[in-house]
Amino acid sequence: DQQVKQNSPSLSVQEGRISILNCDYTNSMFDYFLWYKKYPAEGPTFLISISSIKDKNEDGRFTVFLNKSAKHLSLHIVPSQPGDSAVYFCAAQTTSGTYKYIFGTGTRLKVLA
């Protein structure tokens, strides 16, 4: 049962344009959502997060949007840069009951120069 899904395994975007990465979840008990970036041969690196009580969080070029009614979140990167090319994972956390931290399967972003 994949509670966090990233349905696009890959995405290519031109440098300077917007990159939009999507994530869907099924468990309404998740209380925090995070995005991580992963380069080859490295562990994931935290990028940005959002609490379930908010619908938007912005940090520089990165903005995360949360639509609780649709159980959907998205990461916008504007403008996209070649250094953004990596695998992006969304993750969801629940502290209700037993603590769990669930990752999606990842989306590989390629920003073309």
Which residues in this chain contact other proteins in the complex, by CB under 8 A?
4, 6, 32, 34, 36, 41-46, 49, 89, 91, 93, 98-106
For other proteins, the closer CB: 44 or 73: 44
For other proteins, the closer CB: 13 or 44: 44
Q: How far is the CB of 111 from other proteins (least distance, A)?
A: 21
Contact criterion met (CB below 8 Å) for 76 and 15? no
Q: How far is the CB of 27 from other proteins (least distance, A)?
A: 13
Q: How far is the CB of 14 from other proteins (least distance, A)?
A: 26
Which region holds residue 14: left if phi is over 0, alpha if psi is between -120 and 50, else beta? beta
